[in-house]
Chains A and B, each alone.
Chain A
């Protein structure tokens, strides 16, 4: 079963950031992105697949990522997503935003 179901309901903005960050490594297909996120978060974050594809679509519409059909190493057709230049810039900005947000939340949680 899914160990991480409870934690996996990541906020939409967060999901966008996670996808972008993952794609900084290399172009990837949808399943690969979700697998990477799960792997990097050591299994804590299990991306809801139902939100992954709409998120990819959204990011593509923003012009931050592009997609193209490509053949995998196992010789199967898959849709690969890649960062655009503005997408790369967005990763930086979004990461800074996220750090600020986390810090702010921590400050509040630290109130004793």
Chain B
């Protein structure tokens, strides 16, 4: 009861201080009046009576203050006082405080930016209802070494039908397609995703306008339908709500817009403008093609209450049944089910965690620096502290004051860091390699704010604990005796300062070694020979449109004429076409077998690249044996292929492949098409810069025409200036040609390195900041230590020490600190860097050269940091030093 009463009274007092003050004022006034009256009764004069009454009361203000103390919770009042005191101290020494705040803000800002990315990509749940029940299913194949690969449509249909734990399942084409929209005779290119009719229901999203797809729309029907993204609806159709139900021209055919999705919906990619139904031909359902070709990603939603292991068991039952039913395609086929979010995070996880670790290191380094600054400051206030202790201030009170100081600095650093971090986040979004962070905007959400508060508090405790302990341990008598000079700076404080410096040097070393490894790896990568010469090559993605181009022969004629005219453009030395660009993984794979091999003599996973005869000359891919395609390898002639040296070495080891026949099947049948191998070319990197060339065959586009292609132009001069004449030529040849993109192959190559580049640059920036901070830390501690030893140095010089000796003494101290940090850091880096092995190319995680270079760099910067204090120490004037007290 009374406790409650007390709490209420305090609370009231806290919030209504001014009301309480007024009441007290009135009470005091009343008291003094009565006292004055009493004095008057005793016969005093009016003024004397009043003066004595006030004097007797003993200082109105003091009563007020004591009263206030009783009414407000003590610690809160103290904290307010401490905070005010700190702000005053900051105004007195703005350089120290702003150094601390800026240092801290840098560390916190880096954390905010990276954590925002981690939060958006890894932590924040997918924006679908019950996202934890969404699973991604990928095909495994022990023979082809697949894991979580794309799926064949027939397999998807069987899984969906056979697993009762799935509430629903859907499939969509892996990667994005294009849709051609014709508005008033003008063709626009849209980014399209092709999905089954169950796609939206499985994800659990509704259309903002109209409807999504029906399940039947998985299959072909007379009506062509499409669903628009919010962005496409606004940008292409002016946000017209009457668009739903109307017909537009897609791919030259009337297509009904049945719905518009809400703004936040961006699956499978934020770039999607329009979703199209798969509209498969029902006749395909039982064809081998439907089980043999793999191009789908499959998402399943578990029934409420269904467990992942149970659903997976059901899935495996279906998978095993299919193995028996369709041995030709499914004997080695397995399936893996993983949470959708895990799948989508994919290989962004490791880089993000590496970045998160490095910004944590950065913040620790920043804390160490601020901790040292505060320690120096606390030592400077030695005498004041001792005096306060001697006068009876509670030790815990002094500790609290030290912590309050840290809290104020941390709050300022946190606020500034949040602002900087927010800017950094926007910068990250802008500079990220396409698709790495999977989001177009992070925003600062509650999780990020909580994180900022948490790391600010943690930092405050971390750098505040040193000075706080320092306060606790002070012996006032000793401090006052030494007068707050050098010797009084206790061994403990010095040891703590040294520990901080050793720690931050170790952290800086780890950061720098990590960055160094990534830099070396990036250098290795950019030196890698891609197998072709990208410099000076322009790649134009285009397709001829219209009913004329439905026959392969027409497309073929168009492409041949295109190459001929392109070669005639001034500045173009050679031209070719290809179905997909190297380094982009744009190819399909198949099994293969050479004529005359035993039944199990087949191979798997050979990539198919379809190129025009001039491709090898244009890309400067050398023909090692045999010959390249010529104009004589006609579409009505015998089928021919070229193979690359990877296939030649692996499958034709010890034989001459040229002249042999090859088929793209495991077991040839009477209808199998046999291709004659014309020659062997050197392997190109077809997936990315960090993947070695894989076994591949080149088919001639003359024999295997396709509608969508790239025109490649090797130029003699500037590639960019060629674009206008190229466009004019293309439209002159066929006005109904759509040009999707124009880029140089150097750009394509850079895009393949973009992710490595991005991570390396970020880590390099963090390492740079960490290095500068740790140098400042070493400098700060040494500068302070030498200042304290000015007297000692003076004496040494007076006794005949040469300035070189004095300098060496200080530098040696700096080197001792740095070396300690380097040894610890190197030991941890050697073990810890294994974690980033997967981000490295051509460099071992314990690469001795990198480690040695970084250690040397840090040792030199450590020595440099101690040089200034050393020089200052060696100039100590003995006379001044001895006099100073």
Contacts of A78 in B (CB 8 A): 27, 30
Complex-state Cα separation, A90 to B59, whole angstroms: 30
Contacts of A51 in B (CB 8 A): 66
> Nearest Cβ distance between residue B868 and chain A, in whole angstroms?
55
Known: A30-B27, A54-B63, A79-B23. A49 touches B56 (CB 8 A): yes
Interface contact A49-B70, CB-CB below 8 Å: no
Name the residue of chain B whose CB is nearest to the CB of A48: B58
The yes or no answer to B34 lying at the interface (CB within 8 A) is yes
Interface contact A62-B30, CB-CB below 8 Å: no
Interface contact B6-A53, CB-CB below 8 Å: no
Q: Which of B1, B33, B66 contacts A63 (CB under 8 A)?
A: B1
Contacts of B71 in A (CB 8 A): 57, 61
The yes or no answer to A24 lying at the interface (CB within 8 A) is no
Name the residue of chain A whose CB is nearest to the CB of B30: A78
The yes or no answer to B62 lying at the interface (CB within 8 A) is yes
Known: A57-B70, A58-B70, A63-B2. A50 touches B26 (CB 8 A): no
> Nearest Cβ distance between residue A106 and chain B, in whole angstroms?
30
Known: A61-B6, A86-B1. A53 touches B27 (CB 8 A): yes
> Nearest Cβ distance between residue B311 and chain A, in whole angstroms?
63
The yes or no answer to A29 lying at the interface (CB within 8 A) is yes
Known: A30-B27, A31-B30, A62-B2. A49 touches B10 (CB 8 A): no
Complex-state Cα separation, A30 to B63, whole angstroms: 13
The yes or no answer to A2 lying at the interface (CB within 8 A) is yes
The yes or no answer to A76 lying at the interface (CB within 8 A) is yes
Q: Which of A48, A53, A61, A62 contacts B24 (CB under 8 A)?
A: A53
The B27-68 residues at the A interface (CB cut-off 8 A) are 27-28, 30-31, 33-35, 38, 56-59, 62-63, 66-67
Name the residue of chain B whose CB is nearest to the CB of A5: B56
Q: Which of A29, A30, A48, A62 contacts B6 (CB under 8 A)?
A: A62
Name the residue of chain B whose CB is nearest to the CB of A34: B31
The yes or no answer to A99 lying at the interface (CB within 8 A) is no
The yes or no answer to B5 lying at the interface (CB within 8 A) is yes
Complex-state Cα separation, A109 to B58, whole angstroms: 33
The yes or no answer to B704 lying at the interface (CB within 8 A) is no
Q: Which of A31, A49, A54, A63 contacts B5 (CB under 8 A)?
A: A63
Complex-state Cα separation, A79 to B35, whole angstroms: 15
Interface contact B34-A50, CB-CB below 8 Å: no
Name the residue of chain A whose CB is nearest to the CB of B57: A49
Which of A2, A57, A77, A79 neighbours the largest number of chain B CB atoms within 10 Å of its CB? A57
The yes or no answer to B9 lying at the interface (CB within 8 A) is yes
Contacts of B9 in A (CB 8 A): 60-61
What's the tally of chain B residues with a CB closer than 8 Å to chain A? 29
> Nearest Cβ distance between residue B253 and chain A, in whole angstroms?
84
Q: Which of B27, B38, B59, B63 contacts A79 (CB under 8 A)?
A: B27
Interface contact A49-B30, CB-CB below 8 Å: no
Contacts of A53 in B (CB 8 A): 24, 27-28, 63, 66-67
Which of B2, B9, B23 neighbours the largest number of chain A CB atoms within 10 Å of its CB? B2
Interface contact B58-A50, CB-CB below 8 Å: yes
The A48-76 residues at the B interface (CB cut-off 8 A) are 48-51, 53-54, 57-58, 60-64, 76
Name the residue of chain B whose CB is nearest to the CB of A64: B2
Q: Which of B5, B30, B35, B56 contacts A29 (CB under 8 A)?
A: B30
Contacts of A2 in B (CB 8 A): 56
Per-residue CB contact flags for chain A residues 17-35 toward chain B (1 = under 8 Å, else 0) read 0000000000001110011
Complex-state Cα separation, A30 to B56, whole angstroms: 14
> Nearest Cβ distance between residue A28 and chain B, in whole angstroms?
12
Complex-state Cα separation, A51 to B70, whole angstroms: 11
Interface contact B26-A77, CB-CB below 8 Å: yes
> Nearest Cβ distance between residue B812 and chain A, in whole angstroms?
58
Complex-state Cα separation, A29 to B71, whole angstroms: 19
Name the residue of chain A whose CB is nearest to the CB of B4: A63
Interface contact B6-A31, CB-CB below 8 Å: no
Contacts of B34 in A (CB 8 A): 31, 35
Contacts of A58 in B (CB 8 A): 70
Interface contact A76-B30, CB-CB below 8 Å: yes
Interface contact B6-A49, CB-CB below 8 Å: no
Name the residue of chain A whose CB is nearest to the CB of B54: A49
> Nearest Cβ distance between residue A24 and chain B, in whole angstroms?
18
Complex-state Cα separation, A63 to B9, whole angstroms: 9
Contacts of A60 in B (CB 8 A): 9
Interface contact A61-B10, CB-CB below 8 Å: yes
Complex-state Cα separation, A77 to B23, whole angstroms: 11
The B54-93 residues at the A interface (CB cut-off 8 A) are 56-59, 62-63, 66-67, 69-71
> Nearest Cβ distance between residue A85 and chain B, in whole angstroms?
10
Name the residue of chain A whose CB is nearest to the CB of B58: A50
Q: List, sorted by A's number, 11 A–B pairs whose CB atoms are closer than 8 Å.
A: A30-B27, A30-B30, A31-B30, A31-B31, A34-B31, A54-B63, A76-B30, A77-B26, A77-B30, A78-B30, A79-B26
Top 10 closest pairs, chain A to chain B, by CB? A63-B2, A50-B58, A63-B5, A31-B34, A54-B66, A61-B6, A49-B57, A31-B31, A57-B70, A61-B9
Residues of A within 8 A of B (CB): 2, 29-31, 34-35, 48-51, 53-54, 57-58, 60-64, 76-79, 86
Residues of B within 8 A of A (CB): 1-3, 5-6, 9-10, 23-24, 26-28, 30-31, 33-35, 38, 56-59, 62-63, 66-67, 69-71
For the A-B complex with A54-B66, A60-B9, A77-B30 known, give 12 more contacts whose Cβ atoms are closer than 8 Å: A30-B30, A31-B30, A34-B31, A49-B31, A49-B56, A54-B63, A61-B70, A76-B33, A78-B27, A79-B26, A79-B30, A86-B2
